[in-house]
Amino acid sequence: MNEKVMVSEDSIYYPPGGILIWMIIILEIFTFIGASLVFMYYRGISWEEFVAYREHVSPLIGTINTIILIVSGYFMANSVHKLRANNHKAAASQILWGLLLGVLFLIVKGSEYYFKLDAGLGLGFNTFFTFYWLMTGFHFIHVLFGVGILTYMYRAVKKSEYNSENMLDVESSATYWHMCDLIWILIFPVLYLI
C-alpha cells in the first residue's frame, strides 16, 4: 500500500511526535506532578527535617544537570529540523550531541548517587531521601532509556533510514527526550531549590 496519508499538523489526533507519545507524556507528567505535590505535603508535615536534609543535596550540581538536559533537548529539537530538510549528516550530528549530553547527565547524576550512598544517605535513611531516590531514580531510568533510543536513532538517521517524508519515529524519540527535560524541570526545584 503506497497511498500516502496527509495528516494536518494542527489536528487534535496528531500532536508533534504522535498521539501515543503524548499519552505517555500525560501519564508521566501527572505522575511526577503528583510525586512533587506529595513531597511538598510531607515537607509541610516534617518541615525541619526536610529543610535540614535539603542541605545535603547540591543545588549547583542540580543546576548543572538541568543545563545539560536543556542543551541536550535543544540539539534534539535541531535534529528534527535538520531531518525535515533531509540533511541527514547534520541531523545525525545533532542527535549525537544530544546523546553525549544525556550520557554526561547520567555520569553527573551517577557520581551524585555515589557520594550520597558513601555518606550513608540511602533510600531508607529518612523520608526526604526516600523521595529523593524514588523521584530522581525513576527520572534516571527514563534518561537511561532515552539514551538507548537516541543511540538507535543516531545509527538509523546516519544510515538515512529516515527522511522528511518518514520521520515520525525520530519526532517521537525527540518528544520522549523532551519529556525527560520536562520531568526534571518539575522535580528539580522541589528537591534541590525550595
Partner 1 sequence: MLVVLVTLIILNYVFAENGMHNAVYFIVVVSAIKFIGVVFQFIEAKHAHSAWKALSFVFVAIYLIGVLVLY
- Which one among 130, 144, 156, 189 touches partner 1, defined by CB under 8 A? 189
Q: Which of 11, 48, 55, 165 binds partner 1 (CB under 8 A)?
A: 11
User: What's the rounded Cα separation, in Å, for the pair 145 and 8?
Assistant: 30
Size of the site for partner 1 (CB under 8 A): 43
Could you say which of 44, 55, 118, 124 contacts partner 1 (CB under 8 A)?
A: 44
Shortest gap between Cβ of 24 and partner 1 (angstroms)?
Answer: 13
Q: Quote the cell numbers at residue 51.
A: 529543610
Site for partner 1 in 118-177 (CB under 8 A): 174-175
178 binds partner 1 (CB under 8 A): yes
Measured distance CA(7)–CA(5) in Å, rounded: 6
User: What's the CA gap between 43 and 172, in Å, rounded?
Assistant: 36
Asked if residue 51 binds partner 1 (CB under 8 A), the reply is no
Q: How far is the CB of 182 from partner 1 (least distance, A)?
A: 6
C-alpha cell at 24: 505517555
Residues ≥6 apart with Cβ < 8 Å to 87: none
For residue 34, give Cα distances in angstroms to 85, 107, 143.
39, 27, 20
Q: Which is nearer to partner 1, 1 or 41 (CB)?
A: 41
Q: Which residue in 141, 155, 154, 146 sits closest to 175, CA to CA?
A: 146
Residues at the contact surface with partner 1, assessed by CB under 8 A: 9-12, 15-17, 22, 26, 29-30, 33, 36-37, 40-41, 43-44, 59-60, 63, 66-67, 70-71, 73-74, 76-77, 80, 174-175, 178, 181-182, 185-186, 188-190, 192-194
